[in-house]
Amino acid sequence: MSQILTIDDLKARAKRRVPKMFFDYADSGAYTEGTYQANEEDFRKIKLRQRVLVDMTNRSLETTMIGEKVSMPVALAPTGLTGMQHANGEMLAAQAAEEFGIPFTLSTMSICSIEDVASVTTKPFWFQLYVMQDRDFVLNLIDRAKAAKCSALVLTLDLQILGQRHKDIRNGLSAPPKFTPKHVWQMATRPMWCMRMLGTKRRTFGNIVGHSKSVTDLSSLSVWTSEQFDPQLSWADVAWIKERWGGKLILKGILDEEDARMAVSTGADAIIVSNHGGRQLDGAPSSISMLPRIVDAVGGHVEVHLDGGIRSGQDVLKALCYGAKGTYIGRPFLYGLGAGGKSGVTRALDIIRKELDITMALCGERDVRNLSRRNLHQGS
């Protein structure tokens, strides 16, 4: 991986190695993909304040997210179907995150199950929950996350209805999935990916199959997943989940000041400013453009995190300057996974860490915890 210097390099390699329908799944946004693109573009508009002749020795990227020590303020985001980028994808990514000293968040819609990930890690990971209409299933997921000693529950609020992603529909990744000779060809031209997939037992949603009464095979699974997101999800459900979980709770999908204040009143430990990577409401503002307003709106009453659009350590730094205590990367680690499995994820993290460190130093700061709006160029 010597020529891999940027997240874009990993993306190009992943595109060559992962069958198109799964690469596109990770790489797509809703409708025009305008919000997906804005997430990245708006980071580039922010300019940094360069400082000189400041002692830059003994720098530190260590901090905490919801009270947990992290080697840098970056967590792996919960991403659906991660195990289709690379066989055993969630287990490999969780191991890479653990070795790096940062949190891994397992999605409800993962291929590897909660138990699979717990079996290959030694430190607690975070679990992302979708509140499905089948509340018994939800309670069972919470119990399984507790049994696996997950140290935080990340409750996603912005997917009461699945956003429309044209690429997925065109690729036949819809309910029910449409398998055609084109898919067979896409896989046949990725022999390494196929060999690894054939060598693992986990090729379908491990948190669901065998755990929901109504899912018995692939076709009932596909109907179940498309019908189970709950359009009636409410703040009362958040309170109910908080009580049933009883541990650290992070609310994901806040993009509005009023919702942020509501989230504070739930007593959650953190909120994630997020538009689901531009995969839900196309036309919504970018996460980074909403971050300063949301930080101001909550007035320090809850820890604020950000996801969406981070492609470099510079982006992490900009989010911290605007008041985020931590950030999440989704696609960057998926590209790493598709490009090279566990070592690809580690490479993505190395790239981000190095960029964050160098950028922080050139801004004249030695400690990531001291970054603030004064490190941004006036007018950003």
What are the residue numbers of the active site?
276
Angle between helices 331-362 and 89-100 (to 10 degrees): 20
Helices first, then strands: H and E counts in the chain: 15, 10
Comparing CB distances to ligand HOC, the nearer of 279 and 347 is: 279
Site membership for ligand HOC, residue 11 (CB under 6 A):
no
**CA 214 from centre of chain:** 28
One of 279, 305, 311, 342 touching ligand HOC (CB under 6 A): 279
Comparing CB distances to ligand HOC, the nearer of 146 and 167 is: 167
CB of 245 to ligand HOC, least distance (A): 19
Beta-bridge partners for 126? 105, 152
Site membership for ligand HOC, residue 109 (CB under 6 A):
yes
Q: Which long-range contacts (CB under 8 A, 24 or more apart) does 319-322 make?
A: 319/288, 319/291, 320/73, 320/368, 320/371, 321/371, 321/372, 321/373, 321/375, 321/376, 322/288, 322/291, 322/292, 322/295, 322/373, 322/376
CB of 289 to ligand HOC, least distance (A): 21
CB of 335 to ligand HOC, least distance (A): 15
- The set of residues, in sequence order, having a beta carbon less than 8 Å from that of 109 and lying 6+ positions away, is 80, 81, 130, 205, 207, 225
Comparing CB distances to ligand HOC, the nearer of 80 and 336 is: 80
- What is the contact mask toward ligand HOC in residues 70 to 89, using x (rule: CB under 6 A)? ----------x---------
Site membership for ligand HOC, residue 39 (CB under 6 A):
no
Comparing CB distances to ligand HOC, the nearer of 160 and 200 is: 160
Number of residues that bind ligand HOC (CB under 6 A): 6
One of 171, 225, 275, 375 touching ligand HOC (CB under 6 A): 225
Preceding peptide of 292 cis, ω within 30°: no
Comparing CB distances to ligand HOC, the nearer of 11 and 279 is: 279
What's the rounded Cα separation, in Å, for the pair 67 and 113?
A: 26
- What is the contact mask toward ligand HOC in residues 159 to 198, using x (rule: CB under 6 A)? ----------------------------------------
First to last CA, the chain: 35
CB of 362 to ligand HOC, least distance (A): 35
Residue type, 280: Q
CB of 112 to ligand HOC, least distance (A): 15
Binding residue ranges = 25, 78-80, 107, 128, 130, 156, 165, 252, 274, 276, 279, 307-311, 330-331
For 89-153, where are the alpha helices, taking DSSP H only?
89-100, 114-120, 135-147
**CA 284 from centre of chain:** 18
Comparing CB distances to ligand HOC, the nearer of 110 and 359 is: 110
**CA 232 from centre of chain:** 24
Locate the DSSP E strands across 84-186.
Answer: 105-106, 126-129, 152-156
Site membership for ligand HOC, residue 331 (CB under 6 A):
no
C-beta nearest to ligand HOC: residue: 80
CB of 279 to ligand HOC, least distance (A): 5
What's the rounded Cα separation, in Å, for the pair 377 and 349?
A: 26
Structure tokens belonging to residue 123? 């430190």
Q: Phi, psi at residue 312, to the nearest 5°?
A: -160, 170
Binding residue ranges for glyoxylate = 25, 165, 276, 279
Comparing CB distances to ligand HOC, the nearer of 222 and 380 is: 222
One of 86, 190, 242, 276 touching ligand HOC (CB under 6 A): 276
CB of 206 to ligand HOC, least distance (A): 13
What's the rounded Cα separation, in Å, for the pair 108 and 137?
A: 11
Q: Which residues bind ligand HOC (CB under 6 A)?
A: 80, 107, 109, 225, 276, 279
